[in-house]
């Protein structure tokens, strides 16, 4: 018994010293930081699901007025950079020092995620980015406009047939269904029928759900890499991946057998088989299709639902936007690609919603070679994770006065040049920015245009006065995954937009 106790005490002492061996890292560099505790570092609030990753990184951002702030992921030092000039260096000027994301990779147990643009590192990422950029070119997005418009029409029909009779409509789930229909049409060449709660909708909806296990896996992929491989963790839900994989392979086979007039993603992926020797459509093609589908519908739905909420609780802006929509459509004789691009106030409203509630509340990078922060003595060692808090920047009163106020005029032509460019980064910036930003904008704008032409969006009896976010995961999610509003049919007839 005495020997057992001595072994236990020795183990605890050694564990303490091992887990705290790096805790003077930021102190020695004179970087403001949260005080760590043994074993957990400073991220215990994230591990206990009291705060999301985004909320925690915002706390680090707000901790100091210095250009950066330190924290500890278990025993590993990490940094949040907050000065816009330093943010610019990380994302663009000194990209060669920060070219990788700080996400885990698990090719053995999660190959499809490992070869995605999100997870790939160094030269592999550069090759893949170059290869797939053309699949979301401006021309491809413009060609998809009729399909997106048809999907938005089905959204309107659903609201008219189902939601008008309800006192409360949960617009986040509707936004997910619409976005999933639009993205599946492009990424897989199918009509998902999400508003009918199809099997495909159920599977795709669960690719990145907010269940406890998914949240744990997400935290580990971003923060606790050491658990990913031993516990065979996956970034996407395995059963859903299997279902979508079967749909993908089935449709690729059909595209090979029958010529298809539409130049969608599948056609581009099939064409790549003869262009790249190291390309396997069942791995690399499937991976990019999954990534476009998942990241696309989540980002579009998140942006759309928060935008609808903001317009709901700010009726004067909704009225002004509806007026612009009608005016521009009348000018162009229909809802064309050019008309959508000309809707300046719509763009301003979207940017303000993205400022208030960014899709992902942070950007992550890993220092790939030693870097000295300009005009300081601070050296960031190779391997240190570096984060940019979008919540911190987007809600910093130094860049956006009265940040809690919804004010699209911040992004008006008159004010645009006054904004600090690297304080507003909803889709990232530099070479690792979001590849699908243009398509996502078209999806969101089309839905808002079609909805405002037909309905007034007003507060319901359960519309929150202020949005509260779920304290877990890495995607911006409202409390209880709900954003409740109410749709009312406009008294005047909607304008013909086909």
Binding residues: 434
Question: Parallel, antiparallel, or unpaired for β 385-389 and 76-81?
Answer: parallel
Q: Measure the CA–CA gap between 86 and 403, rounded to whole angstroms.
A: 22
Give per-residue burial for 447-467: e unless 16+ CB within 10 Å, then b.
Answer: bbbbbbbbbbbebbeebeeee
CB 475 within 8 A of CB 360: yes
Binding residues for heme: 434
Q: Measure the CA–CA gap between 333 and 126, rounded to whole angstroms.
A: 42
Token match 């300046």: residue?
Answer: 344
Q: Measure the CA–CA gap between 498 and 47, rounded to whole angstroms.
A: 50
Q: Measure the CA–CA gap between 359 and 294, rounded to whole angstroms.
A: 13
Q: Measure the CA–CA gap between 102 and 100, rounded to whole angstroms.
A: 6
Tell me the H-state helices in 230-386.
238-257, 265-272, 286-313, 315-332, 337-342, 344-356
| Coil vs helix vs strand at 80 | strand
Beta strands in 126-174 (DSSP E): 169-170
Q: Which of 361, 388, 364 is nearest to 476 (CA)?
A: 361
Q: Measure the CA–CA gap between 117 and 235, rounded to whole angstroms.
A: 13
C-alpha radius of gyration, the chain, whole number: 24
């Amino acid at each position: 018994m005495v020997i057992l106790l001595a072994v236990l005490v020795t183990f605890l002492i050694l564990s303490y010293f091992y887990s705290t061996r790096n805790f003077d890292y930021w102190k020695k560099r004179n970087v403001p930081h949260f005080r760590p505790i043994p074993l957990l570092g400073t991220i215990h609030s994230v591990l206990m699901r009291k705060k999301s990753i985004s909320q925690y990184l915002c706390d680090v951002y707000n901790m100091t007025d210095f250009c950066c702030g330190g924290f500890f992921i278990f025993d590993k030092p990490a940094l949040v950079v907050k000065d816009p000039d330093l943010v610019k260096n990380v994302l663009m000027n000194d990209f060669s020092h920060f070219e990788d994301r700080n996400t885990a990779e698990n090719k053995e147990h999660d190959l499809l995620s490992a070869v995605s643009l999100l997870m790939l590192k160094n030269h592999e990422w550069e090759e893949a980015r170059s290869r797939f950029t053309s699949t979301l070119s401006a021309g491809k997005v413009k060609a998809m406009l009729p399909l997106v418009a048809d999907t938005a029409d089905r959204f309107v029909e659903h609201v008219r047939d189902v939601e008008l009779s309800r006192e409360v409509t949960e617009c986040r789930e509707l936004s997910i269904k619409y976005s999933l229909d639009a993205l599946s049409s492009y990424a897989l060449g199918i009509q998902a029928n999400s508003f009918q709660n199809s099997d495909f909708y159920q599977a795709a909806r669960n690719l990145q759900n907010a269940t406890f296990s998914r949240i744990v896996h997400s935290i580990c992929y971003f923060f606790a890499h050491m658990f990913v491989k031993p516990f065979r963790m996956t970034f996407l839900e395995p059963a859903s991946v299997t279902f979508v994989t079967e749909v993908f392979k089935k449709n690729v086979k059909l595209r090979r057998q029958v010529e298809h007039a539409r130049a969608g993603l599948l056609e581009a992926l099939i064409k790549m088989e003869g262009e790249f020797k190291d390309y396997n459509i069942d791995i690399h093609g499937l991976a990019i299709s999954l990534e476009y589908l998942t990241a696309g519908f989540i980002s579009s739905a998140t942006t759309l639902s928060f935008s609808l909420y903001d317009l709901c609780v700010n009726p004067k802006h909704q009225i002004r936007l509806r007026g612009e929509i009608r005016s521009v459509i009348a000018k162009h004789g229909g809802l064309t690609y050019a008309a959508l691009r000309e809707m300046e106030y719509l763009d301003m409203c979207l940017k303000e919603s993205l400022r208030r509630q960014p899709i992902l509340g942070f950007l992550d990078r890993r220092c790939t070679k030693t870097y000295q922060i300009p005009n300081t003595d601070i050296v960031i060692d190779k391997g240190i994770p570096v984060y940019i808090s979008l919540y911190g920047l987007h809600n910093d009163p130094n860049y956006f006065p009265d940040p809690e106020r919804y004010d699209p005029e911040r992004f008006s032509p008159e004010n645009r040049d006054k904004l600090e460019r690297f304080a507003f980064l909803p889709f990232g910036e530099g070479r690792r920015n979001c590849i699908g930003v243009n398509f996502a904008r078209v999806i969101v704008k089309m839905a808002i245009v079609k909805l405002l032409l037909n309905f007034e969006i007003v507060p319901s009896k359960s519309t929150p006065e202020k949005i509260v976010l779920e304290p877990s995961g890495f995607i911006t999610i409202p409390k209880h995954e709900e954003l409740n509003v109410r749709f009312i049919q406009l008294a005047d007839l909607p304008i013909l937009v086909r």
